[in-house]
Amino acid sequence: MPTTHYAQSGINAFVFAKRRPRSPETTPVPQAAQHGRPNVSDSRLNVPLSQQGFPEPAELFANLGTAPLVEHAVRNGEGLLAAEGPFVVATGKHTGRSAKDKFIVKDAETENTVWWGKTNVAMTPEHFAALKADFLKALAEKDRLYVADLFGGSQPEHRVNVRVINELAWHNLFIRTLLVRPSESELATFAPEYTIIDLPSFRADPERHGSRSETVIAVNFTEKLILIGGTAYAGEMKKSVFGILNYLLPVKGVMPMHCSANIGQDGKTAVFFGLSGTGKTTLSADASRTLIGDDEHGWSDTAVFNFEGGCYAKMIRLSAEAEPEIFATTKRFGTVLENVVIDPDTRLLDLDDNSLAENSRGSYPIDFIPNASEENLGPVPANLIFLTADAYGVLPPIARLTPDQAMYHFLSGYTARVAGTEIGVTEPEATFSTCFGAPFMPRHPSVYGNLLKERIAKGGVKCWLVNTGWSGGKATMEGIKRMPIKATRALLNAALDGSLNDAQFSKDPNFGFEVPVAVPGVDSKLLDPRASWADAEEYDRTAQTLVRQFIDNFAQFADHVDESVRQAAPVSATEAA
């Protein structure tokens, strides 16, 4: 199917080709169009850019709504309007986060508060000063900018005021969709606490700026400024706000979480932790439950509250049958689709085509989900679910965890990538991302782990491990399929409505958690991973491999947790014998 080029110049000037779109990182941002309106910064911004020390362009469009931003994006040649309403863009070579290009400024504020290492990489204040100077110079050269004043966090006493400055209209629409939108009265008194400047056209200089490449995401907690350059992937902005809240909230005793959350008809909240691709968005968008949010939340003394005002779902191979609520958003004006293939003539979408990216994404306001919470928050959790996509086929579809086991698996943050995506890779690859979100956690994992354990104990929260991955063998084995979503939903429903607590459980010989023996409507063979394999001995060998990976990974946390948590570690069945 043909895909689009970005406009080279002018308004509504699209060039179509049957090859991948040119990256917006290498395509000049079109010059400002004549919109027939004056600079609007004074009338739409309570705190002008100049008051922050930032240059103001000839045209500054502040706090525009969805329709005007889509209109601007079309005029600027930033993408295409699809037949049924969404705005479709391609992000070029960056179709996901550039984790290795993210830095935190190491200074008096962060030296002893940030967990420095592979995830949180330091940038010197001197390098950041040079980067900031060049960013402001680049801003001064722009004829047009877009600004949005937004909240990170829905609970007023725990939210942060964030200003986002963009050179692309669709980026501004994205972040306005993903964060919490202030009312007109709140905008009238809005004062930014943190500012994000996002310039995809900017090129970092590793020698001058201390970056790794021409792409850079630099976070300065002292100056409360985040600079993003050299990438058009919009998710960098969203995750930067998540990082801010992950840094600020633990000091207040609030637990920040990389999770989705929803509320049952009984009024009880469930929280779903999980890495990308494990089912957070899919499983939380349940028509029988009220959605709080799909990705980022805080757990205060009184509520689970969404950090965001929108959702950011994977689009690849999305179907109306499996995910009807999310699929419906692909036919709505106001949805932004990234790296989804579109026919330039008919403007019809092909959600199954991964030629632009496997990580195709859709952003949409949370109220596009019919059963979303109007308040964007709910009661404190009654159930915690840790989602993992186990490509080894070792873990059961559901297991009940003790509080110590819950902390162990929270700090482990396990999932597995399917082999075969790279030449020569023939086995699944374990991925451990502490707290199910290591790239976004500035502080030491024990800070978040201890907060979680305290809140589990305080609220008597039930904890579950749910495997949305493969069953009956490794994902690489012929004929092995992913866990049926109907079975996953049935098991989750039983856990959340309390009926699963009455089931008979057996102890998993490798991981020590409790696994139900029988659940109505679910094949009992599915509940016993070893029995579902054709070769039980091969299962044992694979389980031993996974157990060793868990133990090796957890060694980094052993000195920061109680002995009871260390005792929650798995032990391979053969070693135990």
* Whether 361 is catalytic: yes
Alpha-helical (H) ranges within 166-305 are 169-178, 184-188, 206-209, 235-248, 280-284
Residue with tokens 């502490």: 434
Cα–Cα distance between 138 and 130 in angstroms, integer? 12
CB 5 within 8 A of CB 21: yes
Taking only the tens of pLDDT, the chain with its 577 residues reads 333 333 322 223 222 222 333 333 333 333 333 333 434 433 479 999 999 999 999 999 999 999 999 999 999 999 999 999 999 999 999 999 999 999 999 999 999 999 999 999 999 999 999 999 999 999 999 999 999 999 999 999 999 999 999 999 999 999 999 999 999 999 999 999 999 999 999 999 999 999 999 999 999 999 999 999 999 999 999 999 999 999 999 999 999 999 999 999 999 999 999 998 898 988 998 889 999 999 999 999 999 999 999 999 999 999 999 889 999 999 999 999 999 999 999 999 999 999 999 999 999 999 999 999 999 999 999 999 999 999 999 999 999 999 999 999 999 999 998 754 334 446 788 999 999 999 999 999 999 999 999 999 999 999 999 999 999 999 989 999 999 988 999 999 999 999 999 999 999 999 999 999 999 989 888 999 999 999 999 999 999 999 999 999 999 999 999 999 999 999 976 555 4
Give, as one character, the DSSP assignment of residue 329: G
* Whether 252 is catalytic: no
CB 286 within 8 A of CB 326: no
Per the residue annotation, which of 101, 295, 508, 540 is the catalytic one? Answer: 295
* Whether 239 is catalytic: yes
pLDDT at 573: 66
Per the residue annotation, which of 72, 127, 176, 239 is the catalytic one? Answer: 239
Per the residue annotation, which of 5, 127, 181, 258 is the catalytic one? Answer: 258
* Whether 560 is catalytic: no
* Whether 489 is catalytic: no
Tokens of 48: 């002008």
pLDDT at 521: 86
Per the residue annotation, which of 231, 240, 269, 281 is the catalytic one? Answer: 281
Who contacts 413 (Cβ-Cβ below 8 Å, separation ≥6)? 275, 432, 433, 434, 435, 436, 437, 438
- Strand order of the β-sheet with 225-229 is 59-62, 144-152, 160-166, 194-199, 225-229, 216-220, 102-105, 122-123
CB 61 within 8 A of CB 145: yes
pTM, two decimal places: 0.89
Who contacts 243 (Cβ-Cβ below 8 Å, separation ≥6)? 219, 440, 441, 442
* Whether 276 is catalytic: yes
* Residue 435 to residues 207, 277, 449, 452, 498, Cα–Cα distance (Å): 33, 16, 7, 10, 26
**500 SS3 class:** helix
* Whether 280 is catalytic: yes
Per the residue annotation, which of 5, 72, 97, 209 is the catalytic one? Answer: 97
* Whether 281 is catalytic: yes
Give, as one character, the DSSP assignment of residue 368: G
- Helices 169-178, 66-75: axis angle to 10 degrees equals 150
Q: How open is the CA angle 563-569-570, to the nearest 5 degrees?
A: 155
Give just the sign of the alpha carbon dihedral 16, 22, 28, 33.
positive
